[in-house]
Amino acid sequence: MSGGKRYPGGAVYELIQALDAKRQRGRPDILVYRKIADTGISVTDSQQRHMMNAKLDAFEAFWKRWFVSEEGHFRAGFQTFKRPEEFEELLEGHLRSWLTEKGLLGQEVIWRVAERGAPFRGLEPYERQHADVFFGRDREIDRGRDRLLAAAARGTAFLLIMGPSGAGKSSLARAGLVTRLTQPGDIPDVGIVRFATLRPGAAATPHRALAEALFRPDGLPELARGDSSTPVILAKTLETDTPVAVRPILAALGRIRTDAGEARLVIVVDQLEELFASTMTDLTRRSFEQLLVALAREGHIFIIATLRSSDYGALALESELLALKDAGATLDISVPGPAVLADIVRRPRVVKKPKRV
């Protein structure tokens, strides 16, 4: 450093080089963050303790020269954080603001209300058809996708998304993960991915809800060409014999093999807590749990379930589900913060009336 002193570390060297460049050429723009959580200093290793104290003293001297004087006067702007999650949220918000200021955030998505309805769903979840205006969850989508595929490679293709009510679990599963996994080439060596979304309490039994979801156009309508030719017949098969129940689903997947590779199926069991309702019999619930285990371990089917974190205690009492969760993967999400909410609200460009030509 100027005056012949050694740099306290590589990060300080890079920062000072950037500050010098900013003064001389007007770039780069610089964001500074300082972690203020206590650091671990050994009480038994005196050599390590002396070395750490020396480094901290050198850093404090640097900090007082460039950012805060001994009198407490600010020389330059900076942000502080204690936990990595705080840093992650701060950095994302500041980077998005910087990208917006520079016009580099990318084009807004034009959503014509007259043709497609409102882009903001209120209390309803975003569906796959809303994927192009589903913003703010890219990080969770990446994590969920990677964890699900890693769990599948271990033999249990199951992902449990947990979070408080209102955190956006359903939208993340339906509009985020389903859209990502069904994109051509997202899953290696897979040519086409179908999906089925259900709520366990949406029909007389969760088996019937699954059967009806599978017969929808985006699911496996090819089932109609097999022995389980209607949702009613398939639901009875799913309820009575779990090993046999998987066969018609696999047969239908086999009928849609493409030149790009085999077919796969993504099943979203939304609001898994409905399995624990008082109206659900123990026999029905356990039968459906066993079915989920068989499907997740089959090799051609991915299961994504959402659960309110307040209902985890009920899940923990179900040995089949608990084992499935432990063998698969879990993604914990929280209520969106200010940066995510800003992204959700501002990115779609809403056009209320068609443009005149």
Number of domains in the chain: 2
Q: Report the distance separating Cα 133 and Cα 118, nearest Å.
A: 11
Tell me whether residue 96 is in a domain: yes
Whether residues 82 and 35 share a domain: the answer is: yes
Select from 199, 196, 200 the least CA-distant residue to 216. Answer: 196
Tell me whether residue 210 is in a domain: yes
Give me the domain span that covers residue 64. Answer: 10-102
pLDDT recorded at residue 274: 96
Percent of all residues in the chain with a pLDDT value above 90, rounded to a whole number: 46
What are 253's strand-pairing partners? none
Q: What is the DSSP string of 303-346?
A: EEEEEEGGGHHHHHT-HHHHHHHHHSEEEE-----HHHHHHHHH
**Triad 266, 267, 272: Cα angle to 5°:** 145
Whether residues 230 and 317 share a domain: the answer is: yes
pLDDT recorded at residue 324: 97
pLDDT recorded at residue 351: 47
Tell me whether residue 81 is in a domain: yes
Averaged pLDDT for residues 141-161: 96
pTM: predicted TM-score of the whole model, two decimal places = 0.67
Q: Which of 102, 126, 154 is the last residue of a domain?
A: 102
Residue 201 Cα distances to 171, 278, 315, angstroms:
18, 11, 16
Tell me whether residue 1 is in a domain: no
Whether residues 163 and 308 share a domain: the answer is: yes
Whether residues 155 and 278 share a domain: the answer is: yes
Tell me whether residue 317 is in a domain: yes
pLDDT digits (tens, 9 = 90+) for 236-278: 999 987 778 889 999 999 888 666 678 999 999 999 999 999 9
pLDDT above 70 (res 111): no
> Residue 152 burial by CB count (10 A; 0-12/13-18/19+): exposed, middle or buried?
buried
Evaluate the CA torsion angle 46, 52, 55, 61 in order and state its sign: negative
Tokens standing for residue 163: 């979070």
pLDDT above 70 (res 147): yes
Whether residues 200 and 284 share a domain: the answer is: yes
Averaged pLDDT for residues 69-86: 86
Tell me whether residue 351 is in a domain: no
Q: Which of 51, 84, 102 is the last residue of a domain?
A: 102
Select from 195, 176, 179 the least CA-distant residue to 301. Answer: 195
Whether residues 87 and 148 share a domain: the answer is: no
Whether residues 162 and 67 share a domain: the answer is: no
Whether residues 160 and 303 share a domain: the answer is: yes
The domain spanning residue 331 has which CATH number?
3.40.50.300
Whether residues 76 and 143 share a domain: the answer is: no
pLDDT digits (tens, 9 = 90+) for 28-75: 999 999 999 988 888 888 898 888 888 888 888 888 888 888 788 888
Whether residues 163 and 30 share a domain: the answer is: no
Tell me whether residue 331 is in a domain: yes
